[in-house]
Structure 1
Amino acid sequence: MSTNARQQLQHHLRNARYEVLPLRGTLEQVQGLPPGTTVTVTSSPSKGTEATLDLAARLRGSGMHVVPHLAARLVRDSAHLDELLSRIEALGLTEVFVIAGDADNPAGRFTDALSLLRGMEEIGNRPHRVGITGYPEPHSFISDQMTIQATDEKARYADYIVSQICYDPNTIASWVKTMRARGVTLPVYIGAPGSIDPSKLLRISMKIGLGQSMRFLRKQHGVVGKLLTRYTPENLFDELSPYLVNPDYNIAGCHLFTFNEIAKTRQWAMETADRLQEVPA
């Protein structure tokens, strides 16, 4: 790893974004993060948007830079969307992350992230920054062509992209390069699981249908489960290090999916950054 790449990775780790779930005890777990840390709060059909915004408000009060997820399929109509955006603004939150959401049936006319983004533009009450998801490998439920088209269209309404989990660094790099060739220039945060329990990580990987990533893991180590017992995001970011300093790729930083193993993930990030600091130039 070059000196510039090492320094850039160290910077990204020290300034990583942490994604958390709005569950009991999350607030206490996040207290170990320094004030100003970017914490994104997920949204799910079982917990609803209220749980997301309630936790976001408490984290904001603890000095965090909080980014609530807005799930399109949980928003009833334009009036509901305007109400949510007004509440977000009143809470002093300046950023949201727009997703389709996992609800089987949409609550109203917003069926995907793109329709919600367009709804936000129609209302004219847009937060300062808006993030969207990008998929380095084919989505398990959507065709590759539709995913590409959706990313290109969503990018017109967004300020940055966070990549979905992918264990293959070559796939991630190729995805970013292909996006740039299509004219999508938004900064990208590389999404990766933090220091997560291997059995939990395997369940999540299978649930979201990481086909190409899982094949990559089998090719590299034979048995996926055994690999995940040794997984650390350090390997992924190490392989991606040449692209971190290449301006053509416009990599903005790291987005760590904690699945609420926040302390372990933070400890890993800081210890890795410290080791990078100690490496001789």
Structure 2
Amino acid sequence: MARTAPAANSAASLELIDGFSLEMTGKDVQALAEAKDRIPSGTRISVTFLGNEDLAMRIAAAQAVLDRGFVPVPHVSARRLKSQGELEEFLGRLQEIGASEHIFTIGGDPAVPEGPYEDSLAVISSGVLQQYGVHEVGIGGYPEGHPDISRDALEHAFWDKVAALKDQGLGMFVTTQFAFDTEPVVAWIDAVRARGIDGPIRVGTPGPAGIRRLLNFARRFGVGANAMIVKKYGFSLTNLMGDAGPDHFVDDLAAVLASAPSTDDAGSGLGIAGHVGLHFYTFGGLAATADWARRFTDERS
């Protein structure tokens, strides 16, 4: 249901940002080392599965996350896997270093699968994950849709994955694509909660980065970035030379969530059943995002 966001509420903003997660690539090991003292201990850090990375880079990144006191959440990109053997080798290496408990499954960018897995549902349904110590699996959410997939297909795929994880006794969390506008995000969360899913949802948002870079990523991923939306987010299309952070977005999202009627006693204090948190896509770098989060928290404490 549609809601109008009230004025920013500092307590709600602090609750929403508490326990945020971050994302890094296999090339960010040195950047993580430089930013480690700025990131809260125990932070969940996703490790990407990109086409320009290899097994050694992904394992090294997961190891670096562990070594610095954080919780690794390695990605598994279904369409990039060339065989079940490659999936098992990856999971086996993760298990050896103690990094296989939490993973995040995605379909991946290739238009044609490089191996036997058409999508992340195929990876989940393979029965392989549990053999390597996986206990919790993340799936993607797309409040503003996907540029290459219809909304109906996205919805069916989402609920098929939810059912498959439940059937296999695996825990689940959701991380959404990043957004600039709170309204579709809250409407999407409402719809998911209305169907009885009260597991953790992490709303994706960009950390601070150059405005041009943010808009380029928005166009690439089909995220709405018209003049009205980006003004609500906190920057102007007439001035593209500076940087922008998600201050307005986080405050507005927290205020709207806090105004929602709680549907059970086990949910977060933000009003919507189940935990709702934030996941930062670190387009501007791990250190810049960690510094922004610390400043944002200090200003509202």
TM exceeding 0.5: yes
**Aligned twin of 1:115:** 122
2:231 matches 1:205 = no
**Aligned twin of 1:26:** 31
**Aligned twin of 2:60:** 54
Kindly provide the amino acid, as one letter, of the partner of residue 121 in structure 2. Answer: L
Say which SS state the counterpart of residue 209 (structure 2) adopts: coil
After TM superposition, give the deviation of residue 124 of structure 1 in Å: 4.0
After TM superposition, give the deviation of residue 271 of structure 1 in Å: 0.9
After TM superposition, give the deviation of residue 223 of structure 1 in Å: 5.7
Change (3 A) 1:218 1:96: closer
After TM superposition, the score normalised by the length of structure 2 is: 0.81
2:82 matches 1:69 = no
Say which SS state the counterpart of residue 98 (structure 1) adopts: strand
Q: CA RMSD in A?
A: 2.8
Kindly provide the amino acid, as one letter, of the partner of residue 229 in structure 2. Answer: L
2:93 matches 1:83 = no
Number of positions where the alignment pairs a residue of Structure 1 with one of Structure 2: 276
**Aligned twin of 1:240:** 253
Moved more, 222-231 or 37-46: 222-231
In the alignment, the residues of structure 2 paired with residue 193 and residue 11 of structure 1 have an alpha-carbon distance, to the nearest angstrom, of: 18
Kindly provide the amino acid, as one letter, of the partner of residue 100 in structure 1. Answer: G
1:19-47 CA deviation, whole Å, 9 max, x = no partner? Answer: 11221533433423243222111111121
**Aligned twin of 2:11:** 7
Say which SS state the counterpart of residue 159 (structure 1) adopts: strand
Kindly provide the amino acid, as one letter, of the partner of residue 112 in structure 1. Answer: D
- Uncovered stretches (5+) of structure 1, i.e. residues with no partner: none
**Aligned twin of 1:263:** 287
Is the Cα–Cα contact under 8 Å of residues 207 and 284 in structure 2 kept in the other structure?
no
Change (3 A) 1:108 1:218: same
In the alignment, the residues of structure 2 paired with residue 225 and residue 96 of structure 1 have an alpha-carbon distance, to the nearest angstrom, of: 40
Say which SS state the counterpart of residue 46 (structure 1) adopts: coil
Is the Cα–Cα contact under 8 Å of residues 15 and 270 in structure 2 kept in the other structure?
no
**Aligned twin of 1:170:** 183
Kindly provide the amino acid, as one letter, of the partner of residue 263 in structure 1. Answer: A
2:200 matches 1:187 = yes
Is the Cα–Cα contact under 8 Å of residues 68 and 95 in structure 1 kept in the other structure?
yes
2:277 matches 1:253 = yes
In the alignment, the residues of structure 2 paired with residue 195 and residue 66 of structure 1 have an alpha-carbon distance, to the nearest angstrom, of: 22
Q: Which runs of 4+ in 1 moved over 6 A?
A: 1-4
1:167-202 CA deviation, whole Å, 9 max, x = no partner? Answer: 110110001111222333332111100111212111
In the alignment, the residues of structure 1 paired with residue 83 and residue 235 of structure 2 have an alpha-carbon distance, to the nearest angstrom, of: 48
After TM superposition, give the deviation of residue 49 of structure 1 in Å: 4.2
In the alignment, the residues of structure 2 paired with residue 43 and residue 260 of structure 1 have an alpha-carbon distance, to the nearest angstrom, of: 19
Identical aligned residues as a percent = 25
In the alignment, the residues of structure 2 paired with residue 149 and residue 215 of structure 1 have an alpha-carbon distance, to the nearest angstrom, of: 31
Change (3 A) 1:125 1:113: same
Is the Cα–Cα contact under 8 Å of residues 57 and 91 in structure 1 kept in the other structure?
yes
After TM superposition, give the deviation of residue 251 of structure 1 in Å: 3.7
